[in-house]
Structures are given as C-alpha cells and as structure tokens.
Amino acid sequence: MDKKIKPDIVYTTAETQKLLKISNSTIKRMLKKGLIRANKVGGQYRILGKEILRLVSPAVEKGAVKSYLNFKQKVVDKINKW
C-alpha cells in the first residue's frame, strides 16, 4: 500500500490502522467516539483520506490537546470540591 494518504481515496479501517500505526482497539474507540468520521458500508466502516489527513494535521492535534487540558482541569476542580 502506498504510504501517502490521498484525500479522495476511501480507506478501510485496516488500511487506516496501518497508515496511522494504531491498534485495532484504538481505531474502534476513535470511530465510536467520533474522532474519525466514517460511513458504514455493508457493516464495515469506510474512511475518506481527507478525514485521516484532518486527524493528523497539527491544527487538529493542537485543538485536541486544548480540549483535553480543559477537561482535565474540570475533573481536578470537581475532585478538589470533594
């Protein structure tokens, strides 16, 4: 498989998993949480290349870190109230 992610190509979860170098359970979790948008075709997910590119772009990562830190702070604040 070509290592370059093409935006207009449709990838299977297995191909996406190989491209992102993540485990099967991780890709399932990402799909379930909506971190990767996909369509189900015949009971299997299909993922557009542009969705994979969106996921790995620095801007998306920066937003995810910010979101995580905000969530973490809320948890810490809640615990401190106890």
Are the C-beta atoms of 55 and 35 separated by less than 8 Å? Answer: yes
On the question of pLDDT at 2 being above 60, the answer is no
The residues near 58 (Cβ < 8 Å, ≥ 6 apart) are: none
* Domain residue ranges of the chain, discontinuous segments joined by +: 10-81
What does the buried/exposed string (b/e) look like for 4-39 if buried means 16 or more CB atoms within 10 Å of the residue's CB?
Answer: ebeeeeebebebbbebbeeeeeebeebbeeeebebe
User: Tell me: the pLDDT tens digits for 9-43?
Assistant: 999 999 999 999 999 999 999 999 888 889 999 99
Statement: the pTM of the whole predicted model exceeds 0.75? no
